[in-house]
């Protein structure tokens, strides 16, 4: 489905000079840019509320951004977690029902379908092309205050952020555009009015340290959420931790890394047990790729959800051995 190429009522994002009112007050270039961005993207930003089916009150709220005119919208997975019913407040104040199409807690992204069509939809940018210092505008509904705008810059790129499930979200954008509770799921936008990220977190007590999931991550997982409602990832069936290795051992064995992944336990009947992995083994490589940390294993498993057979280089009792096993799709949470 050509989700990112639909044209009806899409908010244009081009390089044309900003439209100004010649009879109005003159604005500085920075203000003109922010005003133009808000005019383009603001109509596509919405408020999201979650609640229970049999309760009048809602127990959580956040933001979202419409990405297609027929009602698909992005938000954070933590915004909609546990929701039995969802509703969205549009830019004009109207309220519509929303259905959860799918969620991926490992990237803290979720896809909604609004009970409305012919909507204003934001253009999606290219987060891989960002440079530190670029203008970043955050639009959302902090503390229930609809269509709130803050501006700052891209403070850093390629940060990592720990998701609720324990995995790292890669290539996170750091910005100093102020975020507050309720901004989660809203749009982080560049100077051309293109969404470059989905606002997801802030560091409490800090000044201007906020984070957004890059929009290229969303582009990658949205089609899978539309098809199946989830993102398939590989699973080995083990509990593990990062383990440092002695320099003497690294030199003796000629290892490419000074740490590995220590197997703490294996799930009965899981791929690890069936392949012969044992508690106490240290995984050093996955199909030849070094695995210095548990996060490195997770990254490699994300690309092995199709049941491929993998060769693990393992340190066992001071010697190297190879364990072949079948990677399977991670079981659904109960």
Catalytic: which of 63, 104, 106, 108?
108
State the burial class of residue 238 (Cβ atoms within 10 Å of its Cβ: 0-12, 13-18, 19+). buried
**Sign, Cα dihedral of 94, 95, 98, 104:** positive
Q: Is 190 a catalytic residue?
A: no
Q: Is 108 a catalytic residue?
A: yes
Catalytic: which of 171, 184, 259, 281?
184
Name, in order, each residue with C-beta under 8 angstroms of 83's C-beta and a sequence gap of 6 or more.
Answer: 50, 51, 60, 100
Q: Is 184 a catalytic residue?
A: yes
Separation of alpha carbons 68 and 73, rounded Å? 7
Spell out a b/e string for 180-191, using b for 16 or more CB atoms within 10 Å of the CB, else e.
Answer: bebbbbbbbbbb
Separation of alpha carbons 143 and 180, rounded Å? 7
Separation of alpha carbons 264 and 266, rounded Å? 7
Name, in order, each residue with C-beta under 8 angstroms of 278's C-beta and a sequence gap of 6 or more.
Answer: 263, 266, 316
Catalytic: which of 63, 68, 78, 106?
78
Residues forming the active site: 78, 108, 184
């Amino acid at each position: 489905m050509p989700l990112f190429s639909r044209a009806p009522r899409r908010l244009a994002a081009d390089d044309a000079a900003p439209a100004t009112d010649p009879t109005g007050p003159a604005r500085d270039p920075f203000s003109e840019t922010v005003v133009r961005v808000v005019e383009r993207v603001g109509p596509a930003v919405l408020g999201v509320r979650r609640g229970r089916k049999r309760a009048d009150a809602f127990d959580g709220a956040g933001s979202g951004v419409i990405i297609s005119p027929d009602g698909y919208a992005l938000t954070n997975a933590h915004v909609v977690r546990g929701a039995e019913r969802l509703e969205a407040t549009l830019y004009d104040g109207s309220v519509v029902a929303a259905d959860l199409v799918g969620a991926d807690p490992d990237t803290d992204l979720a896809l909604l379908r609004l009970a409305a069509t012919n909507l204003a939809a934001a253009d999606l940018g290219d987060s891989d092309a960002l440079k530190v210092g670029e203008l970043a505008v955050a639009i959302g509904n902090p503390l229930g205050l609809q269509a709130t705008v803050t501006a700052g810059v891209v403070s850093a790129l390629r940060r990592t952020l720990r998701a609720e499930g324990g995995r790292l979200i890669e290539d996170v954008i750091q910005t100093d555009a102020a975020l507050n509770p309720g901004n989660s799921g809203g749009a982080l936008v560049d100077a051309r009015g293109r969404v470059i990220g989905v606002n997801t977190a802030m560091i409490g007590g800090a000044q201007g340290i906020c984070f957004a999931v890059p929009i290229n991550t969303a582009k990658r997982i949205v089609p899978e959420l539309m098809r199946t409602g989830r993102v398939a990832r590989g699973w080995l069936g083990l509990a593990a931790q990062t383990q440092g290795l002695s320099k003497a051992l690294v030199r003796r064995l000629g290892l490419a890394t000074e740490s590995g992944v220590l197997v703490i336990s294996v799930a009965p009947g899981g791929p690890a047990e069936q392949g012969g992995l044992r508690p106490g083994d240290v995984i050093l490589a996955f199909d030849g790729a070094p695995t210095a940390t548990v996060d490195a294993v997770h990254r490699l498993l994300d690309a092995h959800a199709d049941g491929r057979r993998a060769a693990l280089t393992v340190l066992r009792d001071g010697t190297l051995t190879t364990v072949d096993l079948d990677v399977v799709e991670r079981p659904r949470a109960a």
